[in-house]
Amino acid sequence: MLNVDIASLGPCLFDSPLHQIGTVEVPFKTDADRILYTNSLQELKEEGATAGEPLSFEEAGPREHVFFESARTTVGIVTCGGLCPGLNDIIRGIVNQCHRQYGITKVYGFRYGYEGLVQRYGHTPIMLRPESVSQIHNFGGTILGSSRGQQPIGDMVDTLEDMSVDILFVIGGDGTLRGASEIAKEVAKRGLRKAIVGIPKTIDNDIMYLDKSFGFETAFAEAVNAVKCAYTEACGAVNGVGLLKLMGRDSGFIACFAALAGSNVDFVLIPEVKFALHGTSGLLETLRYRLAKRGQAVIVVAEGAGQELMQSDGGTDASGNKRYGDIGLYLKDEINAFFKERRMEVNLKFIDPSYIVRSVPANPQDNVYCSRLAQAAVHAAMAGKTSMLVGRWHGAFVHLPLDMVTHGRRKVDPNSELWHAVLESTGQPAKLT
């Protein structure tokens, strides 16, 4: 059974400042408001037959009473890991919510990721106000900068103590959230009254127990434009092949959605489904048949696909992730060599738009999603919730324990309707072996 309990700093003794906002009645939530884990009636019946109350998540939203007194509260924000559309939107949403709804006037932005929380690096925090963040959502990246890699937990908590930071909002992916969990544990070990709240960020959409992560909508929309370019290149030459590498270390969601939306893709290769290059049913022979039949082909490959085909140096990156081989360049060389050996003309164009996709501003749909996430995060932190993150599950915003979501990754299920839809759209064989 999953542990879905949310840690709390203590009883909420202050009336929420939201009582004073206009004349609109605030939709306050209580900890008893829950969102079911499953939305399947059959699964709910099966779960009920083996357990008592069905598994559910605490619903996000404003609480009628809060833990922190607004006038005496200091907030910190840090962005970590790779760039992602929507980071500035989240920062802007937190700052506006703190200032305008809760009356918190001291909001610091820690620069260059977790490095900004270690004083010896000399990254001076900046004060964030509504007027200084009013237009940042129109730009990609993060105004705070970012970095990868672990930092000493004790040093980071020392900085929070020295600056009297009561609430720290951590915006990042899997590794960043693991770091946030360790910060929360050190805070608890020292008996400090500080809330650590995460906002999940990953273009790959691979964080567990979330409908989607912010930036994903923008990322796959940009990826669709790259699919169109790959198709144009493929159509512009005899036996043209457009080979497009997209993000997705362990999960192929961007590749799947881009292929479905782009509609002109012949092969989708993702980490969850292994494929062979050679053999009568391998990728290369299947590609040759496709070229003979149609005269062009588009291949979309996620960056983590086919790693078993390449030799790895076994190293890791700054975030502790296994360093992957470049599947795009590998396929480019293998495809060219295959057709050269058979004296068959092929015109292959390789496209890698990864950094373009990562650095664009969020689209309107992600903009709204980021604003809602930021609001939910501030509501949770002010209520004394800690060692948790906010996310959306079955269309509702919920609170999730940090330790729960960092043990595993969300992946494309090869037996799911999504992957079946991709196979139907591309016409590729279910197995390239």
CA-based end-to-end distance of the chain: 37
Query: What are residue 8's DSSP bridge partners?
Result: 385
Nearest-angstrom CA–CA distance, 302 and 272: 10
Residues taking part in catalysis: 204
Nearest CA to 94 among 377, 386, 418, 381? 377
Is residue 242 a contact partner of residue 233, using CB atoms and an 8 Å limit? yes
Nearest-angstrom CA–CA distance, 222 and 242: 16
Sheet holding 240-246, edge to edge: 267-269, 296-302, 240-246, 347-351
Is residue 58 a contact partner of residue 34, using CB atoms and an 8 Å limit? yes
Assign residue 341 a region: left if phi > 0, alpha if psi is -120 to 50, beta otherwise? alpha
